[in-house]
Amino acid sequence: MFDVNETLLDLAGLDDLFGSIVGHPDARREWFDLVIHNALALTAAGAYRPLGEIVTACLPPIAERYGRSVTAEDQRELGLRMRRLPAHPDVTEALRRLRDAGHRVVTLTNSTGDFAEDQLRNSGLRDLVDAAYSADQAGRLKPAPEPYRFVLEAEGVAPSDAVLIAAHGWDVTGARHAGLKTAFVARDGATPLSADAAPTISAPDLTTIATRLIG
């Protein structure tokens, strides 16, 4: 069970857009951190808001930090560009190897279903994924337990027979507490949550994770 944004798809594909909107490509990281902060806070409070709304709502405050303002066209372009993110270089081979080894490969993202389908199709990954699930189907965002449980029920799989693979410590923690095994991919030097138990597997890339899962 793969997360999508940052785990499979490279958000660095948005850097030039943030360079044009706010004048600094590094603002993309600030923006995504704010998106995650908002999503986690709303989820912890028991609220739900589609991720796309959070994505666009977090753009204006980042632009304001750089003395810029955001137009409706900027927000629309951000949504369009997120649908066309490229896959990380290690993704295609890892997915193929897992499927060739007999594993069923699915995705679970906080993005809505149609958005996720566009992302997978535009990145050339859709044919390598057996099913694409959205947290929107459960009415809660990850790391709440409901999205993971929704996929397990839909797939008819016990938690102990599933592995959540993600580049986010909060996602790995959510899956672990829902009973799944976990694999953390350390994109850009990221680390799992220090206050929680270690993931089942940690590795710098999906190639290594696929090798260990197959082994």
Per-residue pLDDT tens over the stretch 50-96:
999 999 999 999 999 999 999 999 999 999 999 999 999 999 999 99
Look at the chain and count its residues. 215
Assess whether pLDDT exceeds 90 at residue 47.
yes
Mean pLDDT of 36-46: 97
Tens-digit pLDDT profile for residues 182-194: 999 999 889 999 9
Query: What is the chain's mean pLDDT, rounded?
Result: 97
Query: Which tokens is 28 given?
Result: 């993309």
* 59 half-sphere exposure, CB direction, 13 A CA radius: 23
- Min mean pLDDT across 5-9, 23-27, 39-43 is at 23-27
Distance CA 195, CA 169 (A): 10
**Token match 């081979």: residue?**
93
Question: Please, which contacts does 176-184 make with residues 24 or more away whose CB atoms are closer than 8 Å?
Answer: 177/143, 177/145, 178/145, 178/148, 178/149, 178/152, 180/1, 180/148, 180/152, 183/209, 183/212, 183/213
Tell me which residue of 166, 130, 128, 129 sits closest to 147, measured CA to CA. Answer: 166
Distance CA 173, CA 129 (A): 23
Mean pLDDT of 21-45: 95
Assess whether pLDDT exceeds 90 at residue 25.
no
Q: How confident is the model at residue 27 (pLDDT cuts 50, 70, 90)?
A: very high
| Residue burial 60-77, b: 16+ Cβ < 10 Å; e: rest | eebbeeeebebeeebbee
pLDDT at residue number 26: 87
Who has greater pLDDT, 144 or 188?
144
Distance CA 100, CA 126 (A): 16
Distance CA 155, CA 152 (A): 5
Determine what percent of the chain is predicted with pLDDT higher than 70: 100
Taking CA atoms, 126 is separated from 95, 145, 155, in Å, by: 11, 25, 18
